[in-house]
Structure formats: structure tokens, C-alpha cells
Amino acid sequence: MTDGGYEAYRDWKGWASEDFGKCNAESAVYFAKELGRCGFPSLANVRVIELGFGNGAFAAWASAAGARYLGVEAIPDLVQTGRDAGFDVALSGQPLTRVAGSTSADLVVAFDVFEHLEAGVLRQTLEDCRECLRKGGRVVGRVPSGDSPFARAVQHGDLTHRTVLGSSAIRQLAGWTGFTVASVRSPVLPLHGGGAASFLRRMLVSTTRAVAYPVITKVLMGGGHPVLTPDLLFVLLKP
């Protein structure tokens, strides 16, 4: 996350200090399934860098899973809260290698962060990530899907969003920054972990998507493999 326009961002998001570093059961199931599908069935002793750790849900989950965690954030108040909670965190705005070291990380994650960056800053950020990663290391990013008409409420619901990223743009970025695209896809949608109401809703969502999205893709978009879910998940591999 970049550092412009975030004076009241924490209040707008409802990130209370007393809730920092808490990961509920639904989020824990999501992180486990998402990271497992990205090639990390376990985070035990995995060196993880998180860009834009927000209110610390992933930080808490990854640390509990045994990761060697480092978080970077643009909002100074969140950095101080993270330090007070005992997490290894740093303020952004400096080269990532300065806080993380070169070729030190196995995984960089950025959930709902890259859309906040201008294209040039995003390119530099990914180049910094590449310098921090070991060979075979991965960047996992989740952004509003630039492929999807259903992403507009997400993309345009936050005035600090700067860049729209679709499947083709992800591949373009990978080419610019020396990564290989391992996958571009919909985020996982676990059925369990959120109670009965969540299970029924997600079953309905999954069924509706399975029926409607192929029709939309073929009839209205001329085919291809667009990611029509509101969010898009991509994995970049350092060769």
C-alpha cells in the first residue's frame, strides 16, 4: 500500500487497535486453502513478507502457522500497533531489501494491495520483491479483477485505488519484472469455516458462477479465460 491519502484510512476500514492481530475461523480457513493452492501447504519455517498487513489478520495466521514473518505497511499507526503486538513489521517507503535482505524470502503476499499503486510504483515494487526472493520464491497477489464487470464496486469503492489489473496486465507485469506467471485465477471460496448461513450462501454463489460465467465468457466476451469473480488471484514465480 502506498502512503498517499491514508490519513483516516484506518477509521474508514474500522480497524480498531483491540482487534489487531486477530484472525477469525473463516479467514484462517481461507488463508490455509489459498496458500495451499499456491504451493505452500505448510508455512512452517517459511520466510514470508507481507506487503500492506492492514489489521494483522494474515500476520496472526501466518505466525501461528510457524512462518518467519515480516510485514511492511504505509500507515505509521498500524506499524506501531504491529510492533506493540509483537510482530516484526516495518514502515514502507524504503527499499524492501533494506528491511528484508536480498534473496531472503520464500514468499511475498499482498492481499488487496497492488491496486493501490501507480503502474510505475507497482513495477518497482515487484522488482524489489524479486530481489528479496530466493530462486523459486513466489509472489501471491489478490486484486480486484480487471477482467470482470463484477469488480467495479470493489475497484471504485476506495478512492485510494490507482491501478486496474486484469489477466493480461499481470502477464505484462511479469514480463517487465523477470517473473514467470504460475497462475492467474479466481481466489478460493471455502464452503466451510463460516457457519451454516455462510455455507449456504457460498454454495449458491459457487453454483451460480459455475453456470453463468462460462455463458458470459463465450457469448458476451468472445471466449478466452477471463477471471470473472470480483477479485483475481495471481502467483508469480522467480525462475
Q: Where are the domains of the chain?
A: 9-191+226-237
pTM for the whole thing? 0.94
pLDDT value at position 192?
Answer: 86
pLDDT at res. 194: 83
Summarised one tens digit per residue, pLDDT across range 182-217 is: 999 999 999 988 889 999 999 999 999 999 999 999
The pLDDT tens digits of the residues spanning 137-195 come to 999 999 999 999 999 999 999 999 999 999 999 999 999 999 999 999 999 999 988 88
Please name the fold of domain 9-191+226-237. Rossmann fold (3.40.50)
Sign of CA dihedral 132, 136, 137, 142: positive
- Cell output for 73: 505497511
> Which residues, other chains included, contact 196 with Cβ-Cβ below 8 Å and sequence gap of 6+?
none
β-strand pairing of 105-111 with 133-144: parallel
